[in-house]
Amino acid sequence: MMSTFLYGAATSAHKVEGYNIHNDWWAWEKAGLSVVESGAAADHYNRFAEDFALAKGLGHNAHRLSLEWSRLELAPGKWNQAAFDHYREVLQELKRQELVSFVTLHHFTNPVWLAKRGGWQDKKTPALFARYAKKVAQELGELVDFWVTINEPMVYATQSYWRAKWPPQQRSVVALNKVVRNLALGHRQAYAAIHDTIPEAQVGLAKHLIAYVPEHRNQFGDRLVTSVQDWWFNHRFLALTRGAHDFIGVNFYFTVQKRVRLIPWQISDVPWTGPTSDLGWPLRAEGLTQVLLHLKRYGLPIYITENGLADAKDTRRADFIRDHLRAVETAQKQGVNIRGYFHWSLLDNFEWADGFDPRFGLIEVDYETQQRTPRPSAYVYKAIIEQAQTL
Ligand code: BGC
């Protein structure tokens, strides 16, 4: 039987809920280290029902969100029943709206108590994460359709332990390597813990994939550096977690061209001269086809768990969605099993270290009034979905 292709949008707890006061990002913001504080964010914690109704009205049949670990586990082993009740309502609302749920367990934020004991550098963290995953499976499992254990492990690890941009702002190869290994272990153990509770669960992770291309295909150096980078950033984590995926989630944003110069020796990224988003990120849909074709080797179903752009004026989003869905189709025609697409994001939100300026939402949020207004591109997406469903 052909399953229905899923179309939806994604969010993540700290970026939209507001007042996630028990996590390391909140602490970091309060210490004055971020450009702006997340505060009430998009107040999604209180407005989730309105937001899901909007998504439904925009033609979506699925939705991706994340649970906030720091709300659910206030101290090691100290579970917060009120938070479980809240997320039960959230997931029941998705069912009422007939939106298939993709539930992420870790999207960049950590409970402060976990961060204090070393976060993902601590070798006990994978087991603590798996215990949290198991608890969620026991409490809410019957309401979850798809599980995403960890969002973008390599982005989290590099931003926090190599580029020093996100808490805890470290720059150490040793820490980076430890964190990557612990995230992989955390995923494997959470995968097992969820399956222990719900044997038929669909569990994966959201992998940020970059389309690396050599500046000159006929230059060995460019090609070599491109494949090493591709292996290290795109495929190593999937190798470390091999056997623990029921599907692969793909977050796609970037194409990066690699260049090698011999004299003087230099490896660099070629400056992008094509169209960009408000954040200066390259807009190149062919990159999505490339990364999808590279995933064929794993033989697993694929969901695009994120793909989007900052575009406050909404002048590029409609074309962006069209182009990227075409890129998905091109990969499908070449035999890649892709079953869903989630645009990033449903709502404007707190864009981590970049604050509230970048506007990623299909729906505009006025942060003064919390008024929601779907952007014109949201209706273009709706028309595309409706058309696809009549085929
Ligand atoms: C992250 C999101 C983020 C988006 C846009 C992804 O890497 O998962 O949290 O908002 O990129 O920056």
Contacts of 102 (CB under 8 A, 6+ apart): 8, 10, 62, 63, 64, 65, 145, 146, 147, 148, 249, 303, 305, 342
Range of the domain at 334: 6-206+301-390
Contact 143, 101 (CB under 8 A): yes
Tell me, in angstroms, the distance from the centre of ligand 1 to residue 193's CA: 26
Which residue among 205, 342, 344, 362 is best mutated to probe the pocket of ligand 1, counting the most ligand atoms within 8 A of its Cβ? 344
CATH number of the domain at 368, please: 3.20.20.80
Q: What is the average pLDDT across 47-61?
A: 98
| Residue 391 pLDDT | 75
0.85 exceeded by the pTM? yes
Tell me, in angstroms, the distance from the centre of ligand 1 to residue 199's CA: 30
Q: Is residue 267 part of a domain?
A: no
Q: Is residue 199 part of a domain?
A: yes
Does 1 have pLDDT greater than 80? no
pLDDT digits (tens, 9 = 90+) for 18-43: 999 999 999 999 999 999 999 999 99
Q: Is residue 15 part of a domain?
A: yes
pLDDT digits (tens, 9 = 90+) for 238-289: 999 999 999 999 999 999 999 999 888 899 999 999 999 999 999 999 999 9
Backbone angles phi and psi of 63, in degrees to 5:
-150, 140
Buried b (16+ CB within 10 A) or exposed e, 293-302: ebbeeeeebb
Does 378 have pLDDT greater than 70? yes
Atom of ligand 1 nearest to the CA of 310: 5
Q: Which of 207, 77, 82, 221 is nearest to 152 (CA)?
A: 207
Q: Which of 335, 278, 280 is nearest to 269 (CA)?
A: 280
Q: Is residue 245 part of a domain?
A: no
Q: Is residue 230 part of a domain?
A: no
Tell me, in angstroms, the distance from the centre of ligand 1 to residue 265's CA: 33
Kind of pairing, strands 363-366 and 371-374? Answer: antiparallel
Query: H helices of 118-264, where?
Result: 125-140, 153-161, 173-197, 220-229, 236-240
Query: Using a 6 Å CB cutoff, which residues line ligand 1?
Result: 12, 151-152, 155, 208, 251, 306, 344, 351
| Residue 3 pLDDT | 64
Single-letter code of the amino acid located at 31: A
pLDDT digits (tens, 9 = 90+) for 125-184: 999 999 999 999 999 999 999 999 999 999 999 999 999 999 999 999 999 999 999 999
Does 85 have pLDDT greater than 50? yes
Number of domains in the chain: 1
Tell me, in angstroms, the distance from the centre of ligand 1 to residue 215's CA: 26
Kind of pairing, strands 363-366 and 73-75? Answer: unpaired
Reading phi first (left if > 0) and then psi (alpha if -120 to 50, else beta), residue 115 is in alpha
Contact 291, 252 (CB under 8 A): yes
Tell me, in angstroms, the distance from the centre of ligand 1 to residue 357's CA: 14
Atom of ligand 1 nearest to the CA of 206: 8
Which residue among 17, 352, 354, 356 is best mutated to probe the pocket of ligand 1, counting the most ligand atoms within 8 A of its Cβ? 352
Tell me, in angstroms, the distance from the centre of ligand 1 to residue 391's CA: 32
Q: Is residue 382 part of a domain?
A: yes
Q: Is residue 252 part of a domain?
A: no
Which residue among 148, 165, 306 is best mutated to probe the pocket of ligand 1, counting the most ligand atoms within 8 A of its Cβ? 306
Does 2 have pLDDT greater than 90? no
Tell me, in angstroms, the distance from the centre of ligand 1 to residue 274's CA: 21
The CA distance from 74 to 76, in Å, is: 7
Q: Is residue 274 part of a domain?
A: no
